[in-house]
């Protein structure tokens, strides 16, 4: 079995890395984050490259590729911490392509694939979706429930913008009832969305780890780089282990989505659970390696740590997904011992 990227996938990754590095230099990312704004010009250029429709069928205006290609993009977007509405739009595209009726796909997918229409996805709990990315700027909102889901236009929903610790992405609380129903229980669309977030967390972790390693090489104490001390080098090695674990799990889930969908629910749940924990632990460890400077607003690391924390809760927390893995595996979820 060949685990390498194809030539086309290598080209997608290379193009994404170069494009995002050029458009989102650290000072530009900070400028947008502090203004809680998106780079609309960069988003338009991504649309011209065909990124929003990379996994959408060609007959609906997309490139007709797969979730693996989407995972490649999501990892690079996480690495750059790009302030654009890509994840939310991709989530809506995945939901509509794999759980939408033919009428819903025909109505919404061409616009989502081109970027002219923006969508997002929320998970309903106790009558509201509490953490919905970019709902304030979406044209269409897909709401998943335990029994299935439905699609509403933003004008038919109550959208309340909220602030989270992640200033690089906008969120809202959404309340909606009725709408156009999805097919059945939503199928495996939520797992494809979870895989995308896991890939973004992998990119966030990779960048935080690289920042820590670079600092450990440059910062000297007692005449030696701090990376030469075991307490620091072992922490960096653990970061590498967790980033590579998240990457392997994310790409495996992406492969399952394209080639072995029966395995996707378990693979995606494991990937998102692992990446949620790894994203937080790696960014927190990077902060420890940086020492005092890592705790300051002037250092960019806190943007990555906050994205990792919020992503870890988005579309299912690590704890919730571990319980789901146990359920899918025929095991009982482990309950904490009474105090």
Q: What does the pLDDT look like over 84-96, one tens digit per residue?
A: 999 999 999 999 9
Q: Is 330 helix (H, G, I), strand (E, B) or coil?
A: coil
Which tens digits make up the pLDDT trace of 251-260? 999 999 999 9
**Predicted pLDDT of residue 258:** 96
pLDDT of residue 101: 96
Q: Judge whether residue 335 has pLDDT over 80.
A: no
pLDDT exceeds 90 at position 332: no
CB 82 within 8 A of CB 28: no
Mean residue pLDDT across the chain: 95
Q: DSSP state, 118?
A: -
Q: pLDDT of 30-71, one tens digit each?
A: 999 999 999 999 999 999 999 999 999 999 999 999 999 999
CATH number for the domain whose boundaries are 7-181: 1.10.540.10
Q: In the chain, which residues fall in CATH 1.20.140.10? A: 189-328
DSSP state of 235: H
pLDDT at 242: 98
pLDDT of residue 339: 56
Global pTM? 0.95
Nearest to 96 by CA among 189, 195, 4, 231: 189
pLDDT at 29: 97
Mean pLDDT across the stretch 149-156? 96
DSSP letter (8 states) at residue 115: T
Mean pLDDT of 193-212: 98
Do 57 and 64 contact (CB within 8 A), yes or no? yes
Task: For CA atoms 37, 130, 175, 139, give the dihedral sign.
Answer: positive
Contact status, residue 101 vs residue 182, Cβ threshold 8 Å: yes
Domain with CATH 1.10.540.10 in the chain: 7-181
Q: At what angle do helices 189-218 and 67-80 cross, to 10 degrees?
A: 40
| Eight-state DSSP code of residue 173 | E
Q: Contact, 78 vs 204, CB < 8 A? A: yes
Kindly state the average pLDDT of the residues 236-255: 98
pLDDT for position 146: 87
pLDDT category, 220, cuts 50, 70, 90?
confident
For residue 336, what pLDDT is reported? 62
Domain 189-328 has CATH 3.30.70.1450: no
Distances (CA, A) of 230 to 13, 222, 233, 239: 34, 14, 5, 14
């Amino acid at each position: 079995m060949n685990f390498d990227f194809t030539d086309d996938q290598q080209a997608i990754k290379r193009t994404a890395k170069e494009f995002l590095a050029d458009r989102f230099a650290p000072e530009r990312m900070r400028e947008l984050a502090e203004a809680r704004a998106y780079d609309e010009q960069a988003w338009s250029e991504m649309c011209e490259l065909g990124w929003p429709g990379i996994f959408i069928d060609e007959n609906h205006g997309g490139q007709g590729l797969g979730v693996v290609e989407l995972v490649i993009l999501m990892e690079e977007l996480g690495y750059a911490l790009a302030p654009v509405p890509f994840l939310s739009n991709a989530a809506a595209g995945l939901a509509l392509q794999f759980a939408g009726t033919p009428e819903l796909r025909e109505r919404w997918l061409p616009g989502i694939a081109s970027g002219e229409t923006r969508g997002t996805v929320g998970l309903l709990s106790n009558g509201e979706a509490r953490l919905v990315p970019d709902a304030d700027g979406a044209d269409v909102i897909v709401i998943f429930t335990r029994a299935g889901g439905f699609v509403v236009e933003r004008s038919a929903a109550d959208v309340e913008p909220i602030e989270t610790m992640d200033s690089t992405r906008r969120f809202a609380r959404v309340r909606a009832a009725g709408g156009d129903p999805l097919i059945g229980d939503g199928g495996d669309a939520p797992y494809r969305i979870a895989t995308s977030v896991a890939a973004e967390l992998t990119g966030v972790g990779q960048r935080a780890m690289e920042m820590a390693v670079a600092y450990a090489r440059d910062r000297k104490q007692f005449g030696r780089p701090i990376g030469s001390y075991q307490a620091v080098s072992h922490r960096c090695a653990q970061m590498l282990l967790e980033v590579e674990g998240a990457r392997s799990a994310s790409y495996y889930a992406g492969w399952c989505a394209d080639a072995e969908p029966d395995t996707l629910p378990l693979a995606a749940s494991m990937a998102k659970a692992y990446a949620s924990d790894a994203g937080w632990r790696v960014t927190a460890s990077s902060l420890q390696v940086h020492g005092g400077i890592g705790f300051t607003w002037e250092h960019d690391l806190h943007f990555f740590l906050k994205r990792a924390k919020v992503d870890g809760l988005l579309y299912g927390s690590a704890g919730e997904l571990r319980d789901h893995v146990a359920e899918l595996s025929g095991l009982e979820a482990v309950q904490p011992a009474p105090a």
